[in-house]
Amino acid sequence: MLGTGTPRPDPNRSGPATAIVVNGTPYLIDFGPGVIRRATAAYENGVTALGFGGINIKTAFLTHLHSDHTLGYPDLIFTPWVMGRQTPLDVYGPKGLKEMTENVLKAWQIDTEARINGINQHNSTGCKVNAREISTGVAYKDDNVTVVAFAVRHEEMIDAFGYRFEAPGRTIVISGDTAPAQTIVDHGRGCDVLIHEAYSMATYHQVSSRSQRFRRHHHTSSVELAEIANTVRPGLLVIYHRSNAGGGHRARTGKTFCSRRSGGTTAAPSSPLTIWTCSDRRRRRGAAWTIGRLSARSPSILAGVNQRLETAVSP
């Protein structure tokens, strides 16, 4: 989890960015503010597959075009190139991605020409981008993974996707930004890891009716996510991108009873369900923080997700 933040400029949380590494190959989902610095921090703490400066990140997926998920795009394109990436970046995402890419490349044209033609003689290929606009279904496939895109509900963002990563022996589903959607259940059922956004019901009741409506139409509440988890039964539920629309500018840290996840394999769906919430604060190795362990066979998942999300993570 390279970044789990929201549009609020919380100095402790970088913008949304998740890396999935399969057989030493990294795949990036979303590229919010600070993405390459977070990738470099992960590299320096042992996640070497990303490469220093993210030079090994060559394939990326975008869930939707909101600014908090895309402000790191120039960083993703140019910083790894300056650090030595020689191959073009492949990016898959919704309609509008090509135009965004063209505009970013045009905006930095003076910089790229100077670096290519100047004293350092940077290569002319590593700053190129192959932007591919996708639809639902298989969006990407190589020897490591098959990536399936599915539609989610993010109000006015008509083209918004979640992704299912299928690798030998492991399936990971990431929701992107979404209100509760049947597609999450359909593609997430029985997965090893479900990475899903959520907002706090505790703060929901403290904001204006307009902000409440925004949350309902754009995001998933902690109660709704617990219901999804009861249906999907993932081996691991990772809660990220906690929306706080209308909740003010100060984050409350709440009680700190988090412990860093250790290594090892993900539990099977029939095993106890570990629920993690993600914050960049004090994080090492780009890892999440575990905040509770519940029985996947018990309805206490609902209460556990709700309670722990309310008390352990800043809004």
| pLDDT at 38 (0 to 100) | 96
CATH class of the domain whose range is 18-312: alpha beta
pLDDT at 269 over 60: no
Give the Cβ contact number of residue 114 at 10 Å. 12
- Alpha carbon of 28 to those of 68, 113, 120, 197, 300: distances in Å? 15, 27, 28, 17, 33
Higher pLDDT, 216 or 199: 199
Q: Token pair of 206, please?
A: 């403290």
- Measure the N-to-C terminal CA separation of the chain; round to a whole number of Å: 18
Higher pLDDT, 269 or 120: 120
Higher pLDDT, 264 or 82: 82
Higher pLDDT, 155 or 311: 155
Q: What is the pTM of this model?
A: 0.82
Beta-strand relationship, 170-174 and 193-199? parallel
- Asked if 272 contacts 305 with a C-beta cutoff of 8 angstroms, the reply is no
Higher pLDDT, 152 or 5: 152
Where are the chain's structural domains? 18-312
| pLDDT at 276 (0 to 100) | 57
| pLDDT at 153 (0 to 100) | 84
